[in-house]
């Protein structure tokens, strides 16, 4: 597919599943932009002007994901993230940090405190929509794995894990397919092509690991579970 054909594709919303998003930022312009660019027939955007208001809304509401600015009154996004992870109801809520700080310390601290992703400003809203969709899908898979761990029967746990892993594989296969399609587009810079190659390589590695774990869980005995797994699709790819 030529690059001009990609640009001429009809507009589609990135997030097509019902999603309630909280955006916490003390910048009123960014809050307005978030409401305009992230909203869709399936997505509801609610905003908070500071950390205290955001935490109250999260405690009272039923949000699917939160986007937090780091520099907010009366406490910053890091403190808000700590409060979220300390609250049992919100412990597993997907959280993405929005900030103009891209230094190593800020990035490391965000992930150390339990952030699911880190998004630098200025925001590319279309890219952020895809990012939110990916984080939400990953969160659902993690939720299925937690449910599997809570099941008392090992057979039920294995079955639940297998279903979650299958969904994960579908997501990774989609990334690989999209990478192939983008690589075939004309007019792509060498730098962008290299980035796409790296993304596809990581997706293939994760896909192979996922298949290997599923194979091991289906093995009838401990000895069989340790048998090496051969990714039959690797050569074909």
User: Average of pLDDT values for 124-140?
Assistant: 88
The residue whose two tokens read 């998004």 is 119
Residue 137, pLDDT score: 85
User: Average of pLDDT values for 43-61?
Assistant: 96
Among the ranges 3-12, 16-25, 168-177, which has the highest mean pLDDT value? 16-25
User: Which of 63, 38, 35 minimizes the C-alpha distance to 49?
Assistant: 35
User: Which of 97, 90, 168, 170 minimizes the C-alpha distance to 128?
Assistant: 97
Residue 223, pLDDT score: 45
Residue 197, pLDDT score: 75
The phi and psi torsions of 76 (rounded to 5 degrees) equal -75, 175
Does the pLDDT value for residue 155 go beyond 80?
Answer: no
At 20 the three-state DSSP class reads strand
Alpha-carbon gap, residue 94 to 92, rounded angstroms: 6
Q: Record the pTM.
A: 0.63
How does residue 209 score in pLDDT terms, banded at 50, 70 and 90?
low
How does residue 228 score in pLDDT terms, banded at 50, 70 and 90?
very low
Does the pLDDT value for residue 25 go beyond 90?
Answer: yes
Does the pLDDT value for residue 43 go beyond 60?
Answer: yes
Residues 6+ apart with CB under 8 A from 107: 118
Cα 7 vs. chain centroid, distance in angstroms? 25
Residue 26, pLDDT score: 95
User: Which of 135, 100, 130, 134 minimizes the C-alpha distance to 37?
Assistant: 130
Domain ranges within the chain, ordered by starting residue: 3-131, 151-236
Alpha-carbon gap, residue 44 to 25, rounded angstroms: 17
* 154-158, 162-166, 209-213: the lowest-pLDDT one: 154-158
Tokens of 173: 């296969």
Residues 6+ apart with CB under 8 A from 51: 24, 68, 72, 73, 74, 75, 76, 77, 79, 80
Between 68 and 169, whose confidence is greater? 68
Three-class SS of 142-210: HHHHHHHHHCCCHHHHHHHHHHHHHHHHHHHHHHHHHHHHHHCCCCCCHHHHHHHHHHHHHHHHHHHHH
Alpha-carbon gap, residue 119 to 128, rounded angstroms: 8
Residue 149, pLDDT score: 67
Domain 3-131 has CATH 3.40.50.2300: yes
> Would you give the DSSP letter of residue 2?
-
pLDDT in tens, 57-114: 999 999 999 999 999 989 899 999 999 999 999 999 999 999 887 778 888 899 899 9
């Amino acid at each position: 597919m030529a690059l001009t054909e990609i640009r001429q594709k009809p507009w589609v919303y990135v997030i097509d599943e019902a999603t309630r998003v909280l955006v916490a930022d003390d910048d009123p312009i960014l809050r307005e932009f978030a409401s305009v660019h992230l909203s869709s027939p399936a997505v509801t955007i609610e905003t908070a002007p500071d950390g205290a208001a955001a935490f109250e809304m999260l405690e009272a509401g039923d949000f699917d994901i939160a986007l937090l600015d780091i520099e907010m009154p009366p406490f910053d996004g890091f403190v808000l993230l700590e409060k979220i992870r300390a609250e049992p109801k919100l412990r597993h809520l997907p959280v993405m940090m929005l900030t103009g700080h891209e230094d190593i310390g800020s990035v490391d601290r965000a992930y150390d405190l339990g952030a699911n992703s880190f998004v630098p400003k200025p925001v590319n809203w279309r890219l952020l929509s895809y990012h939110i969709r990916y984080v939400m899908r990953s969160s659902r898979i993690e939720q299925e794995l937690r449910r599997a761990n809570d099941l008392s029967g090992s057979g039920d746990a294995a079955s639940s894990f297998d279903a979650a892993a299958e969904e994960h594989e579908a997501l990774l296969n989609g990334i690989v397919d999209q990478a192939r399609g983008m690589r075939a587009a004309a007019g792509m810079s060498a730098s962008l092509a290299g980035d796409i190659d790296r993304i596809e390589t990581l997706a293939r590695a994760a896909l192979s690991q996922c298949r290997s774990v599923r194979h091991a869980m289906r093995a009838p005995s401990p000895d069989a579970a340790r048998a090496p797994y051969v990714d039959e699709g690797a050569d074909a790819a």
